[in-house]
Amino acid sequence: MQIALLAPLPPEQNGIADYAGHLKQALEDLGVRVRTPLQGIGNDPQAARQRVAEADWQGINLVHAEIGGGRLAEFHALRALRQRFPHLPLTATVHDPERLVWRRQALPWPLSLAASLRSPLPEIATVLADPLCLHEERQLARQMTRLITLTQTGNRCLQQRMGLRQEQMAVIAHGNLPIAPLPLPPLRPLKLLYFGFIYRGKGIEDLLEALARLFVEKPGLRARVRLTLAGGSEPEMAFGASGSYLEQLRQRIRELGLSDLIGWHLDLPASDIPHVIQAHHVMVLPYRESSKLKILGQLRGTSGALSWATACGRGAITSDARSFAEEVSHGNGLIYAQGNVQALTQALASLCEQPQLAQTWADQAAILGRQRVWNLTAERFQQLFQHACEVH
């Protein structure tokens, strides 16, 4: 079988590129030939359409895309492919259900005139143009052979919002690398880890506030808890009009009196990720759903960071954003209400009072991790691709 993969790929710095890189390698290990016709164009919809027009599609059995993360290139490539090849099997992993891309390449006139005006006029224009964006998403979604989500929650939301048939839908959990198990460190001090790209909107401030409250409410725990902030500090996300987000975090840490309790591991090489995660007891992901996105729909994706926790045999405390509740419903962690700092404080207190929970969660995460290794995940994709070719 020969497929074309439409996706960002390493060395691009984002979770979908990491995911696509692992999937590509695992499929090739199974003997699937994988071509990457969009490689090198970045997130340029016009360049994507041009590649579709110019590339040689001879011998391609199926085209698979990775859609999400605010990217539009793959979406427009799929639209062009469907128009050019009505009978070519098209599949995609949708990373941010219940929508495909959530935004258009450009606002239609006259709403486009608002793009250069002061806030909130551009945002209002985006909302007014959303019915057109949703129509275009539904149009493509209904023409796809298969749409894959990483969770059942995301699958249900995507099917309902896009108006899809059940036979178009599939769920394949986020794959992970086979990481050699490592016992938990000694339970004192309790080592917490935030891992992922570090930028606004991840709820990191909530975690800092919760930790400070925990030590006010239970001063005796101060000597027994440590937190590490680890992950990528992508420049275009970590710096903006309001200055360096990393420096703002450091300033907030100083204001809360937590400087001696918090360590940093920025821009980790991939080879160091398992070591850093396994040096801790529990991952904490305090994500908040974007208030702007709530106007347009429900974001029900999951997290590459959470997949790493599973792969490394570590439990997680997460907010109930995205599809996290489903992902930690296997006895591998604890959920709290997003944005509720006191609820997060209580979750941390519960873990401190029952540190053996970290071992229970780790054991369940390890079982889940073995079920989701990339070679098994790639086999599920290969079977789906074969079936998609047959039914199409």
Q: CATH code at 238? A: 3.40.50.2000
The reply to whether 363 and 385 lie within a common domain is no
- Cα–Cα distances (Å) from 144 to 55, 82, 99, 131, 140, in that order, read 20, 8, 14, 20, 6
Examine the domain organization and report whether 237 and 273 are in the same domain: yes
**Domain residue limits at 274:** 190-371
Most confident of 106-110, 119-123, 180-184: 180-184
Does residue 331 carry a pLDDT above 90? yes
CB-CB contact of 380 with 172 (8 Å): yes
| pLDDT at position 222 | 96
Q: Please check whether residues 235 and 129 belong to one and the same domain.
A: no
pLDDT averaged over the chain? 94
pLDDT at 237 over 80: no
Asked if residue 182 is part of any domain, the answer here is: no
Same domain for 202 and 164: no
What are 255-270's pLDDT values in tens digits? 999 999 999 999 989 8
Residue at 272 is within a domain: yes
Is position 185 within any domain?
A: no
Q: Is residue 24 part of a domain?
A: yes
Q: Which long-range contacts (CB under 8 A, 24 or more apart) does 73-76 make?
A: 73/6, 73/38, 73/41, 73/42, 73/43, 73/44, 73/45, 73/47, 73/48, 74/6, 74/7, 74/38, 74/48, 75/45, 75/100, 75/101, 75/140, 76/45, 76/46, 76/48, 76/49, 76/105
For residue 154, is it within any domain?
yes
Our count of domains for the chain comes to 2
Residues 147 and 220 in one domain: no
68 phi/psi in degrees, rounded to 5 = 150, -175
Task: Please tell me whether residues 167 and 212 are part of one structural domain.
Answer: no
Inside any domain, residue 242: yes
Q: Is 34 a domain residue?
A: yes
- Strands 239-240, 243-244: pairing is antiparallel
Q: Is there a single domain that holds both residue 232 and residue 309?
A: yes
Tokens for 86, please give them: 């009505």
362 and 385 fall within a common domain: no
Percent of the chain at pLDDT > 70 equals: 97
Question: What pLDDT, on a 0 to 100 scale, did the predictor assign at position 235?
Answer: 44
User: Quick one: which of 181, 210, 218, 204 has its CA closest to 359?
Assistant: 181
In this predicted structure, what is the pLDDT of residue 239?
A: 36
Same domain, 10 and 106: yes
In a domain, 183, yes or no: no
Do 358 and 383 have their domain in common?
A: no
